[in-house]
Structure 1
């Protein structure tokens, strides 16, 4: 193990910038850039020797994101509105949810999405059902 520590000490000045949790936006940006370069280099090779570094940096970037950029909590109806807008759909374009009036009541908050509708939406838009719950 001493030889390994000696090698690490010799190369630490080059490696250390990658092995620090981000404490501010500059650190975060540096790690995201490094992560992008690593994933470009590694590609889909899960057995690549640098994959453990990707995992470490990815975990730190994700933790920083969760702490400093939390995802806003949105309802299934908010997601439905967003998806409809993104795809240029109107209320009558969702037959699996119901008639135009049913979709209107859901969007206005008079009705909630039921399990059947949620499953149809998830299947239709190829997203996890959790998005609409």
Structure 2
């Protein structure tokens, strides 16, 4: 038995509770708490020895979320409406999309956003272009 395996076996009882994929909401909550604590320890140091453990736990939490709490699909129009509400904007505040009448047609579903408009919106709101596709 290698030294690494022997040491892992000796300390497994202490590590096992946080090295388990979540199977329930309680498991998920415990892992999320552990992740928060690990991130507090690591700070901004991405080369910290615990970084790989943070990655593993983060991946498990993300997978559980995707399976049990999927994000509903939303249309580009719904995203745009939400961003406009969040930023307190009116149709005339989006000149990169076009005149107010063009924005109105986009919001009513009569017109699709084109690539130029999507690029402008992504830059304007500092988001990925993919949310408008």
* TM-score, shorter chain, exceeding 0.5: yes
1:12 aligns with 2:12: yes
Q: Distance in 1 between matches of 2:123 and 2:8?
A: 50
Deviates more, 1:31-40 or 1:4-13: 4-13
The TM-score, its normalising length taken from structure 2, stands at: 0.95
Q: Which residues of structure 1 form unaligned runs of 5+? A: none
Displacement of 1:27 in angstroms is 0.2
Q: Distance in 1 between matches of 2:114 and 2:13?
A: 57
Q: Which residue of 2 aligns with 1:55?
A: 55
Q: Which residue of 2 aligns with 1:111?
A: 111
CA-to-aligned-CA distance 1:47-100 (integer Å, 9 cap, x gap): 211111111101100110110111111111110000001011111111111111
Q: Distance in 2 between matches of 1:90 and 1:47?
A: 45
Q: Distance in 1 between matches of 2:82 and 2:131?
A: 11
Q: Distance in 2 between matches of 1:43 and 1:50?
A: 11
1:23 aligns with 2:26: no
Q: Distance in 1 between matches of 2:70 and 2:24?
A: 15
Deviates more, 1:14-23 or 1:39-48: 39-48
Q: Which residue of 1 aligns with 2:3?
A: 3
1:125 aligns with 2:125: yes
Displacement of 1:3 in angstroms is 2.8
Q: Which residues of structure 2 form unaligned runs of 5+? A: none
Task: Give the superposed CA RMSD.
Answer: 1.0
Q: Which residue of 2 aligns with 1:101?
A: 101
